[in-house]
Amino acid sequence: MTDTPPASRRDLVRGLAATGLAAGTLAAAPARAQAPPATTPAPTGPALLADPRGRFPKPPFKVQSQPWPALQSRMDPIPDCGETSYRGSNRLAGRRALITGGDSGIGRAAAIAYAREGADVAINYLDAEQSDAEDVARHIREAGRKAVLIPGDLREQAFCARLVDQAREQLGGLDILVSNAAYQHAQTRLADISAEQLDQTMKTNVYAMFWLTQAALPHLPPGAAIIVTSSVNADRPSENIIDYACTKAANEAFVRALAKQVIAQGIRVNGVAPGPFWTPLQVGGGQTEEGLRTFGTTTPLGRPGQPVELASVYVELAAATSSYTTGQIYGQTGGVGWP
């Protein structure tokens, strides 16, 4: 697992208590699949005990910005997605996952963890994020698993259907769907949220979630898992990302309602609600200049989370050992708390 001792399921329930990357304007490209070469073992060795307050970088951060969608590889510091630390234990052996926004940030951490737990993984992203996606594919292949790369625009319903079909075909089936991609753009006044921004935020964060799930449900077997990335902003919204917060509340309502509907098919639905996490979402317009510089200071830990710190949550919610867990929102907020 990670370089801290792995949490038990009871610890996760007590300590997580219920938390993107963006789809954009580019047209879909054909799926790219890589057959795994000889297996490179995931990191091994004893987990180290570490004070969580100083384990990862703290603010103030360098003020930086990138054109949307931002690349993880150009951030300073580069987010930690578990590339050198996540240790698998075969919890998802033989599983097949599709993760949107899987090129960087939280989606990347989930993809790496899933591969090291034994799953084959398809990721969706934008053409502009190809270099980040290729690097994720390398980590998946080094874990001995199959990587499928499917770039395209989640704001298009037809592409969402093609994405699910291509992932199923390339992976030989599908039993984990992670709806993670999101768009966020900070505005200090409501009047500054244009119709175009509202449309992009809603379609990326809400419509795509509906379209992907509608396309996937007829093909998901009993025991399958759907996981949606929400946010602490669903219940504790920031004043600068009102449109984003509205979509995250919709994500949580979707999880709770759909879980009741599809359990009749043996399918579980859960959500993850992160607090402030250091991902390209922030440097691609998701924060104001001051918000980026002080990002994470409002948490008791005094820093933002790193994507690797969420990886085990996505594994837990996908694993068969969580068979009694559905309709839940797991928060990871750095001590901010959860209602």
> Which tokens is 44 given?
């091994």
**108 has a pLDDT exceeding 70:** yes
| Each residue's pLDDT tens digit, 209-261 | 999 999 999 999 999 999 999 999 999 999 999 999 999 999 999 999 999 99
Q: How high does pLDDT run on average in the chain? A: 89
Q: What is the mean pLDDT of residues 34-45?
A: 45
Q: From 283, 306, 308, select the one nearest 293 (Cα to Cα).
A: 283
| Each residue's pLDDT tens digit, 162-184 | 999 999 999 999 999 999 999 99
How much is the pLDDT for 271?
98
Q: Where are the domains of the chain?
A: 9-35+55-332
| Each residue's pLDDT tens digit, 123-134 | 999 999 999 999
Q: What is the mean pLDDT of residues 17-34?
A: 39
**311 has a pLDDT exceeding 80:** yes
* 207 catalytic residue (yes or no): no
Sequence-distant (≥ 6) Cβ neighbours of residue 66 within 8 angstroms: 74, 75, 280, 283, 284
| Each residue's pLDDT tens digit, 58-88 | 999 999 999 999 999 999 999 999 999 999 9
Q: What is the mean pLDDT of residues 313-323?
A: 98
Angle at 290 between CA 299 and CA 155, to 5 degrees: 85
How much is the pLDDT for 329?
97
How much is the pLDDT for 241?
96
Q: Are 111 and 129 in contact (CB under 8 A)?
A: no
Neighbouring CB atoms inside 10 A of 157's CB total: 16
Sheet holding 225-229, edge to edge: 32-34, 147-151, 120-125, 96-100, 176-179, 225-229, 268-274, 329-332
pLDDT band at 33 (very low <50, low <70, confident <90, very high): very low
pTM of the model: 0.86
Strands of the chain, DSSP E? 32-34, 96-100, 120-125, 147-151, 176-179, 225-229, 268-274, 329-332
Q: What CATH number is given for 9-35+55-332 in this structure?
A: 3.40.50.720
pLDDT band at 5 (very low <50, low <70, confident <90, very high): very low
How much is the pLDDT for 38?
41
Catalytic residue among 125, 244, 314, 330: 244
How much is the pLDDT for 339?
52
Q: How much of the chain is in helix, strand and coil states, percent to nearest 5?
A: 40, 10, 50
Q: Are 48 and 4 in contact (CB under 8 A)?
A: yes
